[in-house]
Amino acid sequence: MPNPFASCKKTIALSGGKEKMYYSLPALQQSLDVNIQRLPVCLRVLLESILRNCDGRRITEAHVRALAGWQATGERDNEVPFVVSRVVLQDFTGVPLLADLAAMREAAAQQDKPASNIEPLVPVELVVDHSIQVDHYGSSEAMRLNMEIEFERNRERYEFLKWGMGAFDTFKVVPPGVGIVHQVNLEHLARGVMEKDGLCYPDTVVGTDSHTTMINGIGVVGWGVGGIEAEAAMLGQPVYMLEPDVVGVHLQNNLPLGVTATDMVLTVTEMLRHANVVGKFVEFFGDGARSLSVPDRATIGNMAPEYGATMGFFATDDKTVEYLRATGRDEEQLQTVATYYQAQGMYGIPADGECDYSQVLTLDLSTVEPCVAGPKRPQDRILLRDLKKRFVNMFVAPTADGGYGKQEADLTARYDTGKDGVDIGDGDVLIAAITSCTNTSNPSVLLAAGLLAKKAAQRGLKPSALVKTSLAPGSRVVTDYLEKSGLLPWLEKIGFHQVGYGCTTCIGNSGPLDTAYEKTIVEHNLVGAAVLSGNRNFEARVHQNIRANFLMSPPLVVAFALAGRIDIDLQNEPIGTGNDDKLVYLRDIWPSGEEIANVMSYAVDPENFKRRYGADFSQDVELWQQIPSHDGVRYMWQYNSTYIQMPPFLAQRGVVGGVINGARSLAMLGDSVTTDHISPAGAIKPSSPAGVYLRENGVKVADYNSYGSRRGNHEVMMRGTFANVRIRNLMAPGTEGGVTLHQPSGEQLSIYDAAMRYQKTQTPLLIFAGKEYGTGSSRDWAAKGTRLLGVRAVIARSYERIHRNNLVGMGVLPCQFIGDDSIQSLGLCGDETFDLVGVSGDIKPRQKAQLVVHRANGKIDTVELLVRVDTPTECDYYAKDGILPYVMEQLIA
């Protein structure tokens, strides 16, 4: 049916006499007689999408009216069907997504339908940035060697991606060696305003990386989703959600001199985590927000997953347009952006009192102090001046309280590594990495790191041999301005050579430590430290044998690398001794604001961006040109491949849903279990089920690669689900790693082996957990692997947004304890059997269900649960065994 709001379609006048059409929010405001201008700007962008796409079927007039009448403190029971403008992918999640699309084409062909019917309906861009690993470092050859290894390890995956480029019209790939997905998105892929068939509309995006929110810094509404939901979005399905609460954050004043954007974002992260903004939209407003540069805004937006929000949004304004100009966008596009948002009444960051918010929080930027975050979570901020004391306290605290359970005297003990006279001890900095999109997109902190390196090198300071140093710029433009400013050689002089363009250490691709060092760490159970300018420091993420990981600004990464220890008061103790035998303090080498300003001009040269993001992304990557590509609408599956296998999700219909009786618990987990704990990540251990599988398939240990690189093979991934070395299953007390007790035998097995034994007896499985289940990266394999292990439902105290959605998308039922109910309060230990009652028929949004607990002593208890299938559309997904069968059925029809 025609759009019932067709009268809101208006004409916008651009320079040169050009005119384009757009759906006008001011016209809608007049038509509905509601004050849309009081809505948070981010909600107005959503409103424009459902106004423009209102078709009376997927999106109805009622949807438009409901969101237009959003009340800041109203009930959240209205569904918002948000149609995004484009989808952005990284390669770890993009490869299995492409495999799913290829499998859908196979399914279409089997039903005598044209395989080409399966085609993305919006632009899809995949940036290969997650595969490079820091195998080589500390030399001018490091980047070349790492990239050669990367292409050797991932050749089969890259051939698959090249096939996808040719097979799908709307699927594009940015090859390895160009940059990190979020920085490439910010610097190049983002349009600001999209145009199709003469119609203008906002650039909006979902991405298969939780830090897609970085794009919020330039007024683009977008957030991270799992690959499952991204597939639905790119195949024309709206992203469904309940109307969100919008938390307004009033930023006041300016940052003090010497305080970095990283210090600011770690402060924001702690504050918003404490305010519990999980699943909410956050919009920044006020004079302080206006004063921030776009890279600083993007840094705050990037960390939205760490503070738990769906996104952290800054509206489009003059600084946005200037940033687009500085990054090489053409003038016609700039004028379109400014004119469009002005016509919609969405131009400019709101002042205090201009918009209605569900809650208003205030941060005085002038109160921000230098800080770090860690050692296990990004929201655990520690003031730099308190770090030494806090680390010592954590070092001696019991493991039950989150400490390391050691003696303070251990901090002075040193152990010979047997190599070159190097000894090692607790608290040593072993990895120092300038990495991650959070900071490598921000010239102010990268240039500050270069200036600090220059001053340190001039004083004769250098990290010890223990420290694995690396610099992974977010794009090749960063290399350009570090070279032109003369600072790259100084970073290299103290060991921070470029190792590649990619996420590297922040996603666990830190590479191996020296074998002699690692052996000593393991033998003596040492608490080594990693310092990184990243956004994630969850247990075992950075490196499996480094137990204390701290996030900080790039200049502080350099400083701690030079100091060599984490238990140091950098504000009062010397970093080291200079070549003049004088003590050198951090204050002696910290760059001033004037020094940073003097080199900032090198970072805002539009010609650099135009050259680096020319018509052919592969201009700088010869290795990509050497990868062969294969033609054909359908992929030629290689059934002996250990990298790419046809996923089974469309073939396993009817496995989920229905009655859940006689279930067993596969694992009982605590609070803050992350997707890093659930989803396979990092190196594949030879002794693990995945390692055994690869060995049995003729793969040498040296060629195991990482779980991330093998996400296109479900056989590897299901074996690595719940296999993190730091996961703790309460069913198997005293253990660490992916083990469980099989029932009723009581035998201790790997979680994978136990799941396979349960599958032989057709025993349904449950996962139990505490608060914030599924925190972290938007890893679809955390849900896919859960499904393949035979888990029918997860029962937790609370969920992070993306993982809950992914579970529904894979047909796994997320349920939530009500009130104070928990594993502990109910006395669950894992030898029980369970019935889940009330979920065998049509599921209703947020309905109740009953968990019937059959205890080993014969006692039976019944517990009420909240079913976290939140929207009517999610109910439809669950009823069809997940998003993929649901979308497939619609496309075939």
Tens digit of pLDDT for each residue in 59-83? 999 999 999 999 999 999 888 999 9
Alpha-carbon distance of 884 to 866, in angstroms, equals 25
Whether 689 is in a domain gets the answer yes
Whether 213 is in a domain gets the answer no
Answer yes or no: do 559 and 677 share one domain.
Answer: no
Amino acid (1-letter code) at residue 645:
Q
Answer yes or no: do 742 and 599 share one domain.
Answer: no
Within 8 A by CB and 6+ apart from 412, the residues are 425
Answer yes or no: do 552 and 694 share one domain.
Answer: no
Residue 77 is predicted with a pLDDT of: 85
Alpha-carbon distance of 314 to 293, in angstroms, equals 11
Give burial (CB, 10 Å; 0-12/13-18/19+) of 519.
middle
Within 8 A by CB and 6+ apart from 815, the residues are 793, 794, 795, 796, 836, 849, 851, 865, 866, 867, 868
Answer yes or no: do 595 and 713 share one domain.
Answer: no
Give burial (CB, 10 Å; 0-12/13-18/19+) of 761.
exposed
Answer yes or no: do 482 and 399 share one domain.
Answer: yes
The total number of structural domains that make up the chain: 3
Whether 158 is in a domain gets the answer no
Question: Do residues 832 and 777 make contact, with C-beta atoms less than 8 angstroms apart?
Answer: no
Answer yes or no: do 550 and 462 share one domain.
Answer: yes
Question: Do residues 802 and 678 make contact, with C-beta atoms less than 8 angstroms apart?
Answer: no
Residue 129 is predicted with a pLDDT of: 93
**H or E stretch at 28:** helix 25-32
Within 8 A by CB and 6+ apart from 30, the residues are none
Answer yes or no: do 409 and 519 share one domain.
Answer: yes
Whether 207 is in a domain gets the answer no
Residue 618 is predicted with a pLDDT of: 62
Beta bridge partners of residue 632, listed in sequence order:
none
**H or E stretch at 856:** none
Answer yes or no: do 708 and 573 share one domain.
Answer: no
Question: Do residues 213 and 304 make contact, with C-beta atoms less than 8 angstroms apart?
Answer: yes
Answer yes or no: do 684 and 832 share one domain.
Answer: yes
- pLDDT tens digit string along 209-259? 989 999 999 999 999 988 888 988 998 889 988 899 999 999 999 999 999
Whether 56 is in a domain gets the answer yes
Enter the DSSP assignment of 552: -
Would you tell me how many other CB atoms lie within 10 Å of the CB of residue 824?
Answer: 12
Whether 385 is in a domain gets the answer yes
Helix (H, G, I), strand (E, B) or coil at 877: helix
Answer yes or no: do 678 and 758 share one domain.
Answer: yes
Closest to 381 (Cα-Cα) out of 443, 306, 447, 280:
306
Within 8 A by CB and 6+ apart from 8, the residues are 23, 24, 25, 27, 28, 31, 51
What CATH number has the domain bearing residue 742?
Answer: 3.20.19.10
- The C-alpha angle with vertex 510 and arms to 463 and 422, in degrees rounded to 5, equals 40
Alpha-carbon distance of 75 to 66, in angstroms, equals 11
What CATH number has the domain bearing residue 529?
Answer: 3.30.499.10
Would you tell me how many other CB atoms lie within 10 Å of the CB of residue 600?
Answer: 15
Token digits of residue 881: 């065994």
Residue 616 is predicted with a pLDDT of: 66
Would you tell me how many other CB atoms lie within 10 Å of the CB of residue 673?
Answer: 28
Beta bridge partners of residue 311, listed in sequence order:
281
Alpha-carbon distance of 726 to 211, in angstroms, equals 24
- The C-alpha angle with vertex 153 and arms to 151 and 158, in degrees rounded to 5, equals 55
Question: Do residues 419 and 516 make contact, with C-beta atoms less than 8 angstroms apart?
Answer: yes
> What residues of the chain score a pLDDT lower than 50?
655-656
Question: Do residues 135 and 149 make contact, with C-beta atoms less than 8 angstroms apart?
Answer: yes
Answer yes or no: do 499 and 568 share one domain.
Answer: yes
Handedness of CA 720, 278, 671, 668 (dihedral sign): negative
Beta strand 381-383 with 371-373 is: antiparallel
Q: What domain range includes position 815?
A: 660-892
Closest to 257 (Cα-Cα) out of 362, 363, 368:
368
Question: Do residues 159 and 628 make contact, with C-beta atoms less than 8 angstroms apart?
Answer: yes
Q: Which of the listed residues 41, 67, 82 is the one where a domain comes to its end?
A: 82
Whether 878 is in a domain gets the answer yes
Handedness of CA 627, 631, 634, 640 (dihedral sign): negative
Sheet holding 221-224, edge to edge: 171-174, 124-127, 86-90, 204-207, 221-224
Long-range contacts of 272-277 (CB under 8 A, 24+ apart): 272/247, 272/307, 272/308, 272/309, 272/361, 273/306, 273/307, 273/308, 273/379, 275/247, 275/359, 275/361, 276/308, 277/247, 277/307, 277/308, 277/309
- The C-alpha angle with vertex 99 and arms to 93 and 100, in degrees rounded to 5, equals 90
Q: Which of the listed residues 82, 108, 126 is the one where a domain comes to its end?
A: 82
Whether 865 is in a domain gets the answer yes
Cα–Cα distance list, 62 to 46, 67, 69 (Å): 15, 9, 10
Alpha-carbon distance of 179 to 455, in angstroms, equals 28
Question: Do residues 727 and 626 make contact, with C-beta atoms less than 8 angstroms apart?
Answer: no
Answer yes or no: do 600 and 665 share one domain.
Answer: no
Q: Which of the listed residues 82, 117, 145 is the one where a domain comes to its end?
A: 82
775: number of CA atoms within 13 Å, CB side?
27
Alpha-carbon distance of 151 to 177, in angstroms, equals 10
Token digits of residue 552: 């900080």
Beta bridge partners of residue 862, listed in sequence order:
852
